[in-house]
Amino acid sequence: MWPDRGELVLRVRNLWGILFTDVALLGLVLVLVVWAGTLVVGDERRERLVAAASLAFVVWFAGPLVSLVLVVWAALFVVAVEIGAASTMGRLAAGALLVALVWAPVHWIGALGEPVHARELVAFGTNMIVLRSIAWAVARWRKEVAPASVDRLVVAFFFFPTFMNGPIESADALVRPLAAPSRDDVRAGVARLASGVARIVAGALIFPLDGAAALGSGPVMPAWQLWLWAVRLYVWFFLSFSAWTEVSIGIARLCGRRDVIENFDRPWLAQDPGEFWRRWHVSLGVWLRDHVYIPLGGNRRHRMLNVVAVFAVSAAWHVWGTLKLLGFGYYPPHAWIGFVTWGALHAVAVSATRRLPPARSSGGVLARRVATFLFASWAWIPFFTPSNVSWRGMARMLARMLIPTL
C-alpha cells in the first residue's frame, strides 16, 4: 500500500540519518579534498592523498583507537604475507591474523557504540577487509602481483569508496596505480552518484521504516500477502544494495579508479538460479568462484558439493556480518537458520537446474525469467525473517507460499 503523506515525510527524513547518506557525503568531501590537494602537491602524489583520505574516512566513522587497531592489523598482515611468500610460518601467521579479525569485532562489539556508525563501519568494513586480504595474500603467494608501496597498500586495504560495502575488488585491482580522473570520469562519476541517490530514495518510498520486521507475523499471514512481501523485498533490496554500488563506483571514478567491478547485471533477466548469481552481487560471486569453488574442484569434481560449499561460505559471511552488528545476545545461533536456509535453497536450486536445456522460444525465455524472479523473491523470505520467528514458522511461511491451503 502506498504510504500516506505523514509516513512519506518520515521515510524521506529518515534518509538523512542513515549510513548511506553519511558515507556518500563524506566520500564527496574527501574527493574534493584530494582534488584540492593535487593542486598543491602535484598529481604525482595523488595516490598518497587518496591513502590519507581513506584513513581519514575510517577515523571519522570508527574513531582513532579502532582505526589504529585496523591499521596495525593491516601492517602485521602485510608483513606475514611477505614472509609467507617464502615460509610456511608466515602463512600460518597470516591465517592467525585473519582469525583474530573475525573474532575480535564480535567479542568487543560493546565497545563500538561511539562515534556514530562505528559499529556499522567495523561490521561492513571488516567484511571487505577479510575478502580483500585473502585475495591479495593468495595472489602474492602465487606471485601474481608484485610487492606494493605503503601508499598503495593503504589504498588496497582501506580505499574509501569501496571500503564500507564493496564492490569486492580483485587482488590485481587493489594494487593497481590510480589514474588521473578525466572529464569523462567526472561525468560518469556524477551520473553514478545521482543514480545511487535516486535508487535509495525509491527504496525508501516503497518500503516501510520498520523494514522486514513485519515478517515477524509471517507465520499467520495469508499466502498472497507473503508473496507481496517477497517481491517488495526483492525490489527494495536491489534498489538499496545497488544504490551503494552506484555511489561506490561513482566516487571511485572521481578518484581515478575506472575498473571497479559492477555488482549487478540486470538480475531480473536471469533464466535460472545459476544465472541469477552471475548477475546478483557479482563481485562476491567472483570471489567465491576464485577462492572457494575452483580450489575445491569447480566443475571438474564434486560439483554439487562445491556449490554447497560456496553457499555455506556465503551464509557464514552474512552471519558473521550480522553478529558484528547485533552480538550473540540479540543474534543467538538459533537465529542463524535464516541465512542457512537461504543458502541451502539456492544451493539446491543451482544444482537442480544446471542441466536444463535452453529455452526455445521467447515465451519460454519469459517464463523462465518470471520463474527465476519468483524463486529469488521466495528465497529472500528466510534471508530477512526476524530472529523471533522459529525455524518451524519460517518453514511454514515458505511452504504456504507454494501451497496456500497449508
pLDDT tens digit at each of 406 positions of the chain:
556 666 677 777 777 878 899 999 999 999 999 999 998 888 888 889 999 999 999 999 988 989 999 999 999 999 999 999 889 999 999 999 999 999 999 988 777 666 668 888 899 999 999 999 999 999 999 998 888 888 888 988 999 999 998 899 887 787 888 888 999 999 999 999 999 999 998 888 777 656 566 666 667 788 888 898 899 889 989 999 999 999 999 999 999 898 899 999 999 999 999 999 999 999 999 999 999 999 999 888 888 999 999 999 999 999 999 999 888 888 889 889 999 999 999 999 999 998 888 888 999 999 999 999 999 999 999 998 888 888 888 899 899 999 887 7
Nearest to 255 by CA among 153, 146, 176: 176
Residues in contact with 1: Cβ distance below 8 Å, sequence separation at least 6, in sequence order: none
Q: Are 231 and 148 part of one and the same domain? A: no
Structural domain tally of the chain? 2
Residue 91 cell numbers, joined:
602463512
Whether the Cβ atoms of residue 262 and residue 167 lie closer than 8 Å to each other: yes
In a domain, 381, yes or no: yes
Q: Are 142 and 254 part of one and the same domain? A: no
Nearest to 97 by CA among 171, 157, 178, 47: 157
Which of 122, 151, 183 terminates a domain? The answer is: 183
In a domain, 94, yes or no: yes
In a domain, 190, yes or no: no
Which of 183, 203, 231 terminates a domain? The answer is: 183
Q: Are 50 and 125 part of one and the same domain? A: yes
Measured distance CA(108)–CA(19) in Å, rounded: 21
Measured distance CA(338)–CA(353) in Å, rounded: 23
Q: Are 167 and 140 part of one and the same domain? A: yes
Measured distance CA(166)–CA(159) in Å, rounded: 10
Q: Are 307 and 383 part of one and the same domain? A: yes
DSSP 280: B
Whether the Cβ atoms of residue 178 and residue 253 lie closer than 8 Å to each other: no
Q: Are 179 and 199 part of one and the same domain? A: no
Whether the Cβ atoms of residue 49 and residue 37 lie closer than 8 Å to each other: yes
In a domain, 189, yes or no: no
| Whole-number Cα distances in Å, 150 to 79, 157, 196, 327 | 12, 11, 32, 34
Measured distance CA(302)–CA(293) in Å, rounded: 10
Q: Are 131 and 37 part of one and the same domain? A: yes
What's the pLDDT score for residue 326? 87
What's the pLDDT score for residue 357? 86
Give pTM, 2 decimals.
0.92
What's the pLDDT score for residue 125? 93
Query: Could you list the residue range(s) of the whole structural domain that residue 253 is in?
Result: 195-402
Grid cell 500500500 in the structure block, residue: 1
Q: Are 226 and 345 part of one and the same domain? A: yes
Q: Are 239 and 93 part of one and the same domain? A: no
Q: Are 137 and 204 part of one and the same domain? A: no
Q: Are 128 and 39 part of one and the same domain? A: yes
Residue 358 class from Cβ within 10 Å (0-12 exposed, 13-18 middle, 19+ buried)?
Answer: exposed
Measured distance CA(325)–CA(118) in Å, rounded: 10
